Amino acid sequence: MTDELTTTAIERAAAALTAHGFGVEILDDAAAARERVRELIPAGASVFTGASETLRLSGLDDDLNTGGRYDALRPRGLAMDRATRADEIRRMFAAPDVAVGSVAAVTETGSVVIASGSGSQLPGYAGGAGRVIWIVGAQKVVPDLDAALARVEQHCLPLENERALRVYGVPSAVNRLLILNAEPRPGRATVLLLRECIGF
């Protein structure tokens, strides 16, 4: 794909997402996304981050979970006893002030596709979080849902499986798949589309 074609695809996706109620900003790179996320999330907000190579590689994971500026829910939940406090963890992750992560694909027709092994990030993304922000590398923009689903299985899953085996010692799977075709609550969901390729 040439740079010109990539730019055209990003612009088409941005226009379609906007028409479907998503807030969309096109940014140059991950550094710009880091700055923008800091502007979008007020200090002290409860923030849940989905497991994401995009967040890790960009530095956003550290910004949000270790910087002390926010009420970081992911590290708090990971430190809690899952056997005795599972319900508390579930509720905490499902309804943060802000959920931040990435996606498997964004379509030029205006849909957002998220694949998950555990599903922990999906309630917040689907509607539980007060706000949601996704940072999306240029390579994740695809023509339509068929291409998005193919990308999940053929590209994202093998890479995530490798990561999961390395980090957790267990394989990954597409156990849950969330497709958002529109955002009915104006201002809730923001897609930061990058001209840079980053993440899976």
CATH number of the CATH domain containing 110: 3.40.50.10420
Tokens in use for 176? 């849950």
Query: What pLDDT was estimated at residue 89?
Result: 95
Residue 174 resides in a domain = yes
Tally Cβ neighbours within 10 Å of residue 184: 9
Total domains, the chain? 1
3 state SS of 46: strand
Q: Which residues of the chain have pLDDT under 50?
A: 1-2
Would 57 be classed as within a structural domain? yes
Q: Among all chains, which residue has been given the structure tokens 């579930």?
A: 90
What pLDDT is attached to residue 67?
86
Dihedral of CA atoms 54, 57, 59, 61 in degrees, nearest 10, equals: 50
Is there a domain that residue 84 lies in? yes
Look at residues 151, 143, 138 and name the one whose alpha carbon lies nearest to residue 177: 151
Which letter does DSSP use for residue 108 in this model? T
Task: With residue 65 as reference, give the H or E element that holds it.
Answer: helix 60-65
- Token pair for 18: 């906007």
Residue 199 lies in a domain: no
Are the C-beta atoms of residues 7 and 28 closer than 8 Å to each other?
Answer: no
Q: Is residue 200 part of a domain?
A: no
Q: Which among 130, 116, 147 is positioned nearest to 183, based on CA atoms?
A: 130
* Interacting residues of 66 by C-beta distance below 8 A, sequence separation 6+: 72, 75
pLDDT of residue 4: 77
Q: What is the pLDDT of residue 3?
A: 80
Range of the domain at 138: 3-194
